Amino acid sequence: MSTAPHTPAAGLSPATVVVSAGRPAREQGGHINPSVPLNSTYVSRGVVTPDELSYARGDNDAWHPFEEALAALEGGGEAGGGAAGGGAAAPATAILFSSGMAAIAAAFSLVPDGGTLVLPRHAYQAGMVLARQISERHGVTLRYVDIADTDAVVAALDGADLLLVESPTNPMLEVADLPAVLGAARAAGVRSVVDNTFATPLGQRPLEHGADVVLHSVTKYLAGHSDVVLGALVTRDAALAATLREHRTLHGAIAGPFETWLALRGLRTLALRFERAQASAAELARRLAEHPEVAEVRHPSLPGDPGHERAKAQMNGFGAIIGVRPRPRPGAGDAEAAGTGPAAVERADAVVDAVRLWLPATSLGGVESMLERRRRWGTEAHTVPEDLLRLSVGIEDVEDLWADLDAALRA
Ligand SMILES: *Cc1c(COP(=O)(O)O)cnc(C)c1O
């Protein structure tokens, strides 16, 4: 019996691919959902080819349906990837990891000892901490850039080994000019990795803009229910895929079959969840921008947002993460107005304490709306305002979300 997942032909909308990809082969009386195969080893003798299963840390059929579906999504909707419009691009391959951080660690392993890594000054914090450790232990030079400043990114590529892009960034929601920075990296012979966690493959497909590797914290929107931790890398480069897979095998950061099954189940509703979350986020951002208790809102949907035009050009929607700074209390000083100081922190924390529906929690991309003050983490970049709240908009009724947020801001 074939264990290869079945994915329909090219040309389907991503909203269809999330439902149809990675199903079992269509046999009479066969399963419509993949099973949860539980094996640490497989029957094997003699010399094993790369396509054969032998030991479950190296390759595991529990991963294949999800990997196939994610490859189809990031590769442009085609079974096993392929360029949009049927171009000559190689098929995309997805490699599942035990967490987004395991995927980041594998991506950073592409930088040689003594090499140079270009990275956004605002990006996922644990990734930044890992970059600093690698820098100290392996003599890697770190060049931080404002990822929205294309000239600065291009200048930093000189002699670099790897460019890490986040867009929109966590938590400042800066938007990179993906075609420009990824094209420049390619021209300079610098490999690029785009963390596509915030946008999802429904919001943007970085491989089509020239990225070598796309990275996901599957924990967030792809799985979507705040019940698993997983990560993934996607690439069209077969040699790179082999290197990244070998990293996974040797470092052992592999996904469990149950978690993988949950992630695929979550992926089935990604299009619906993300459509609702994005629409609600745009509506909440619009209302927050007019709220008397709000000092600043960041969301690329807002016409005045620095990332608005770019996001409109390269994204499908604007994502469902919002940055908000509450207005300081009357009589507050200049520091509070700038978002720093104990009074500004207290004001932002009071909003987190006052919500009743929004969950006070870290993480994002689940069906439940969540918020947190990002600088409560000591590792968050110090250029992020101390009173910045990051809101992850879920799929609840937007009026209920608004009523709770409005009351918390006025409390
Ligand atoms: C959460 C997150 C990660 C890390 O993923 P884990 O699954 O938590 O290991 C990486 N990048 C971004 C943008 C994230 O939000």
Considering all CA atoms of the chain, what is the largest pairwise distance in Å, rounded to the nearest integer?
78
Question: How many separate domains does the chain show?
Answer: 2
Question: Would residue 164 count as lying in a domain?
Answer: yes
- Number of Cβ within 10 Å of residue 119's Cβ equals 23
CB-based contacts of 25, cutoff 8 Å, min separation 6: 1, 2, 4, 5, 6
Q: Are residues 130 and 142 in the same domain?
A: yes
- Residue 192: name the closest of 201, 181, 202 by CA: 181
Question: Would residue 185 count as lying in a domain?
Answer: yes
Residue finishing a domain among 267, 283, 314: 267
- Residue 37: name the closest of 1, 73, 9 by CA: 1
307: CATH: 3.90.1150.10
Say if residues 193 and 182 touch (Cβ distance below 8 Å).
no
Q: Are residues 259 and 278 in the same domain?
A: no
Mean pLDDT over residues 56-65, rounded?
98
Q: 336 is written with which tokens?
A: 């509070």
For ligand 1, atom 12, the nearest C-alpha belongs to 124
Catalytic residue positions?
A: 57, 124, 195, 220
204: CATH: 3.40.640.10
Q: 370 is written with which tokens?
A: 């969540």
Q: Are residues 72 and 192 in the same domain?
A: yes
Q: Are residues 259 and 331 in the same domain?
A: no
Q: Are residues 219 and 289 in the same domain?
A: no
Closest approach atom of ligand 1 to CA 170 = 13
**pLDDT digit string (tens) for 85-97?**
445 578 999 999 9
Question: Would residue 291 count as lying in a domain?
Answer: yes
Q: Which of 124, 200, 222 to mutate to test ligand 1, by most ligand atoms within 8 A of the CB atom?
A: 124
Q: Are residues 305 and 194 in the same domain?
A: no
Q: Are residues 282 and 254 in the same domain?
A: no
**pLDDT digit string (tens) for 295-351?**
999 999 999 999 999 999 999 999 999 999 999 888 778 877 788 889 999 999 999
Least confident of 7-11, 198-202, 377-381: 7-11
How many whole angstroms from 101 Cα to the centroid of ligand 1? 6
For ligand 1, atom 5, the nearest C-alpha belongs to 100
> pTM (2 decimals)?
0.95
Q: What is the pLDDT of residue 157?
A: 98
φ, ψ dihedrals at 27, nearest 5°: -115, 150
Please report where in the chains the tokens 């929601």 appear, as a residue: 173
Q: Are residues 220 and 90 in the same domain?
A: yes
Closest approach atom of ligand 1 to CA 365 = 15
Question: Would residue 6 count as lying in a domain?
Answer: no
For ligand 1, atom 6, the nearest C-alpha belongs to 100
Q: Are residues 187 and 303 in the same domain?
A: no
CB-based pocket (< 6 A), ligand 1: 99-101, 124, 127, 166, 170, 195, 197-198, 217, 219-220, 229, 231
E strand residue ranges, 153-249: 162-166, 191-195, 213-217, 231-235
Please report where in the chains the tokens 């009071």 appear, as a residue: 350
Q: Are residues 164 and 71 in the same domain?
A: yes
- Number of Cβ within 10 Å of residue 242's Cβ equals 14
Closest approach atom of ligand 1 to CA 363 = 1
Q: What is the pLDDT of residue 162?
A: 98
- As beta bridge partners, residue 235 has 93, 213
Say if residues 107 and 234 touch (Cβ distance below 8 Å).
no
Mean pLDDT over residues 289-293, rounded?
98
How many whole angstroms from 218 Cα to the centroid of ligand 1? 8
Confidence tier at 3 by pLDDT (50, 70, 90):
low
Question: Would residue 304 count as lying in a domain?
Answer: yes
**pLDDT digit string (tens) for 137-153?**
999 999 999 999 999 99
How many whole angstroms from 217 Cα to the centroid of ligand 1? 4
| Domain span including residue 295 | 270-410
Residue finishing a domain among 237, 267, 297: 267
Residue finishing a domain among 267, 283, 317: 267
How many whole angstroms from 231 Cα to the centroid of ligand 1? 8
Q: 140 is written with which tokens?
A: 């890697």
Q: Are residues 88 and 156 in the same domain?
A: yes
Q: Are residues 217 and 351 in the same domain?
A: no
Distance CA 232, CA 213 (A): 10
Question: Would residue 114 count as lying in a domain?
Answer: yes
How many whole angstroms from 48 Cα to the centroid of ligand 1? 34
CB-based contacts of 304, cutoff 8 Å, min separation 6: 289
